[in-house]
């Protein structure tokens, strides 16, 4: 049996053999700790007949652990230089496939139809590059893919923002956008020392369990998200000020205030104090304006 990829020595050996140099622009940080990788895979609750979708496999450290635990793994890799490396490192795992593509531009639904069985238990599991974390996560959630959930290693600060509760300093439009589609929990903090090269900040493993129905019933999703964005435009401003500066005109201020009062929401509150339910109620009530 070949040595596991995710050890400092084996990683060094592979990188040296292929003369691979890290591209800062791609946010490449490879994990060199098998325990951490196993913990990530544990968080995904995969069964033997499950499938996994990975984004940015690097040299295959996480891919290998996923392949050991489930029936099928499909990984999206944007960096062409990694393809020959992955071909070698994943050779013992014929049920792991690498697709050379930018996941933000890929038709993930088609990939799922082509590579997995209908109704198969599916999880997205990945160590995401920091610079595209939010667009990737929101893209996965908005596409309403047939997946059970997402387990990702991301920047600690972003994980805290996504899983934040109302009334806390981390709670904002990103928390609501993600939690509208999924239940979010920060599963573990991962020190920067288990990566090569070492990033400047610690990471965290975030778990998103998809909801069968969105967290609140809204008549118009687009307006709901616009309202949330406007409510957090300037955190220190009151709700009424944010809304009349970013979504409505000053002339509509009184009408907006009347709707807020009707919804039992004090206009002088700040966006971060409102629950998702309150935002849902407000969106449905303000839409007429």
* Sequence ranges of the binding site for S-adenosyl-L-methionine: 29, 31, 56, 77, 102, 127
| Per-residue pLDDT at 231 exceeds 80 | yes
* Sequence ranges of the binding site: 29, 31, 56, 77, 102, 127
Interval 165-219: pLDDT, tens: 999 999 999 999 999 999 999 999 999 999 999 999 999 999 999 999 999 999 9
| Per-residue pLDDT at 122 exceeds 60 | yes
Mean pLDDT score of the chain: 96
Per-residue model confidence (pLDDT) at position 2? 61
Per-residue model confidence (pLDDT) at position 166? 96
Interval 21-57: pLDDT, tens: 998 888 889 999 999 999 999 999 999 999 999 999 9
The C-alpha atoms of residue 220 and residue 283 are separated, in whole angstroms, by: 8
Which domains does the chain carry? 8-210 (3.40.50.150), 221-286 (1.10.8.100)
Query: Do the bridges between strand 122-127 and strand 51-55 make them parallel or antiparallel, or are there none, so unpaired?
Result: parallel
Predicted structure pTM score: 0.94
Region class of 16: left (phi > 0), else alpha (psi between -120 and 50), else beta: alpha
Q: Are 230 and 223 in contact (CB under 8 A)?
A: no
Per-residue model confidence (pLDDT) at position 3? 82
Q: Stretch 89-105: mean pLDDT, rounded?
A: 97
Exposure letters 46-72 (e unless 16+ CB within 10 A, then b): beeebbbbbbbbbbbbbbbbbbebbbb
Per-residue model confidence (pLDDT) at position 131? 86
Per-residue model confidence (pLDDT) at position 288? 81
Q: Stretch 117-139: mean pLDDT, rounded?
A: 95
Q: Residue 269: is it exposed, middle or buried by C-beta count within 10 angstroms (0-12/13-18/19+)? A: middle
Cα dist from 7 to 35, 194, 267, whole Å: 10, 10, 55
- Residue 1's pLDDT band, with cuts at 50, 70 and 90, is very low
Q: Is 243 helix (H, G, I), strand (E, B) or coil?
A: helix
- Residue 10's pLDDT band, with cuts at 50, 70 and 90, is very high
Per cent of the chain over pLDDT 90 is 93
The C-alpha atoms of residue 239 and residue 236 are separated, in whole angstroms, by: 9
């Amino acid at each position: 049996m070949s040595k596991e990829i995710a050890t400092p020595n084996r990683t060094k050996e592979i990188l040296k053999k292929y003369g691979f140099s890290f591209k800062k622009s791609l946010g490449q940080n490879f994990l060199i700790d098998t325990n951490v990788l196993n913990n990530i895979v544990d968080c995904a609750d995969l069964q033997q007949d499950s499938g996994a979708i990975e984004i940015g496999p690097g040299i295959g450290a996480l891919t290998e652990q996923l392949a050991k635990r489930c029936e099928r793994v499909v990984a999206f890799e944007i960096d062409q230089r990694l393809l020959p490396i992955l071909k070698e490192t994943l050779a013992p795992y014929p049920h792991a496939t690498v697709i050379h593509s930018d996941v933000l531009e890929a038709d993930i639904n088609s990939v799922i139809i082509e590579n997995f069985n209908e109704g198969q238990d599916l999880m997205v599991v990945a160590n995401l590059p920091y610079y595209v974390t939010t667009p990737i996560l929101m893209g996965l959630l908005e596409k309403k893919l047939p997946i059970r959930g997402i387990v990702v290693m991301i920047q600690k600060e972003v994980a805290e923002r996504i899983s934040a509760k109302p009334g806390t300093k981390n709670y904002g439009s990103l928390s609501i956008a993600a939690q509208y589609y999924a239940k979010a929990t920060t599963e573990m903090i991962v020190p920067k020392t288990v990566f090569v090269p070492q990033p400047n900040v610690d990471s965290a493993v975030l778990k998103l369990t998809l909801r069968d129905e969105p967290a609140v019933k809204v008549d118009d999703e687009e307006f709901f998200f616009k309202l949330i964005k406007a409510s957090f435009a300037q955190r220190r401003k009151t709700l009424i000020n944010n809304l009349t500066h970013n979504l409505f005109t000053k002339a509509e201020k009184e009408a907006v205030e009347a709707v807020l009062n009707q919804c039992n929401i004090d206009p002088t509150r700040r966006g971060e104090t409102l629950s998702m339910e309150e935002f849902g109620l407000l969106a449905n009530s303000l839409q007429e304006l």
